[in-house]
Amino acid sequence: MSESAITTRGLRRWFGQVRAVDGLDLEVPRGSVFGFVGPNGAGKTTTIKMLLGLVAPQAGEGAVLGRDIRRESLSIRTRVGYVPEIEGLYRGMRVRELIAFTRRLRPAWDDAAVDRYLAMFGLPLHRRVGHLSRGMRSQLALILALGGRPDLLILDEPTTGLDPIRRQEFLGTVLREVCDRGQTVFMSSHILSEVERVADHIGIMVEGRLAASGSLDDMKAMGRRVWVRFEADLPSEALRLPGVRRVERGPDGYAITILGNAEEALARLRAIPHCALEVAGMSLDDIFREFAGPKGGTAAGEGVAAAAAPAGGGAAPAAAEGSAGRADRYTGPRGGGQR
């Protein structure tokens, strides 16, 4: 457990009939910037609140910085800087008053760093917190979280409400601090571009479960799109290859989406008699959409889904057309990542 900043096993939390978090197994390496991504309602905020002892888990276990989330939540919070999705700053205080108040709660407070952040963001010390813009309050929350020199920084949708320039400044500050201090950052977001900019590890949360997790490079390498023209009609074994999630018929062949076990699936796909085969990678956004997008697909006999031809070759995609008694679009089982 000393190797990980965060560890959970079978963590669960329900609200009535809603499975907010359902059997979460999570590992966050120390010193990493971990992007915890998923659509709204996936369970990200509930997970964070359980890690900090703000919501009690109904099953499972977890540890943050080697401390048990049930028995040692107070100790955890003294070593963690937390920027919640909805900031709860004291709006009646002036900025300088809130900083002084927070300083008394944090033994390792770094005045020099706080002064540097204040100058960078240009926050007015005399203004009451309630009179700041949403973006300024987000910046102030980050300053207060970093001022205590935490071992772990937890950010829950931290750039909500920030304009593009302030968002870049915010993420740049986080990245510099991590590089300078070797801190661990756990950042939840549904904005893939900002996570990809700063994270070196990714976890994808879908409907309360961890659909996939790994280093950024490994996550990008897990997906492939293959354009293939078989010598005969679509072989049934192509639908049973490991990691195949979607098969779509185009005008000159088939587009096959593979997620997980990509190299094994490609090797077996190449062994099937074919006339042409092209392979392309998938972006992190593409992979996220495969896990978090709508379930299901076109059933057998319901029609043909047109597939785009590969770059640099092939004909343009044809319009969807009827198909009698044959599955021209196949959507594999959801999953393929860690659970």
Q: Which CATH number among 2.60.40, 3.40.50, 3.10.590, 3.30.70 corresponds to the domain 222-331? A: 3.30.70
| 190-196, long-range: CB < 8 A, 24+ apart | 190/37, 190/38, 190/39, 190/40, 190/157, 191/159, 192/37, 192/284, 192/285, 192/288, 193/285, 194/159, 194/167, 195/35, 195/37, 195/284, 196/35, 196/284
Upper half-sphere CA count for residue 48 (Cβ side, 13 Å): 27
pLDDT on residue 167: 77
Q: Which residues contact 110 (CB under 8 A, 6 or more apart)?
A: 146, 147, 148, 149
User: Which part of the chain has CATH 3.30.70?
Assistant: 222-331
pTM of the model: 0.78
Query: Among positive and negative, which fits the CA dihedral 126, 129, 135, 140?
Result: positive
Q: Which of 155-164, 248-257, 274-283 has the lowest mean pLDDT?
A: 155-164
Using a pLDDT cut of 70, give the percent of the chain over it.
Answer: 84
218-231 per-position pLDDT tens digit: 888 888 999 998 88
- Least confidently predicted of 25-39, 46-60, 102-116, 164-178: 164-178
Rounded mean pLDDT, 50-55: 95
- Start-end of CATH 3.40.50.300 domains in the chain: 4-215
pLDDT of residue 37: 93
CA 183 – CA 175 distance, rounded (Å)? 10
Position with higher pLDDT, 261 vs 281: 281
In the structure encoding, which two tokens stand for residue 286, read together? 């593409």
d(CA 58, CA 120): 42
For the chain, the straight-line distance linking the first and the last C-alpha, in angstroms and rounded, comes to 19
Q: Confidence band (pLDDT; 50, 70, 90) for 315?
A: very low
The second-level CATH assignment, the architecture, of 4-215 is 3-Layer(aba) Sandwich (3.40)
Mean pLDDT over each residue of the chain, to the nearest integer: 81
Per-residue pLDDT band for 302 (boundaries 50, 70, 90) equals very low
Average pLDDT estimate for 15-24: 93
Binned at pLDDT 50, 70 and 90, residue 67 comes out as: very high
Residue 63, classed as helix, strand or coil, is strand
Rounded to whole angstroms, how far apart are CA atoms 232 and 193? 41
Beta bridge partners of 27: 7
Q: Is 179 exposed, middle or buried (0-12, 13-18, 19+ CB in 10 A)?
A: exposed
Sorted by sequence, the CB contacts under 8 Å of residue 77 that are 6+ apart come out as 52, 53
Helix (H, G, I), strand (E, B) or coil at 274: strand
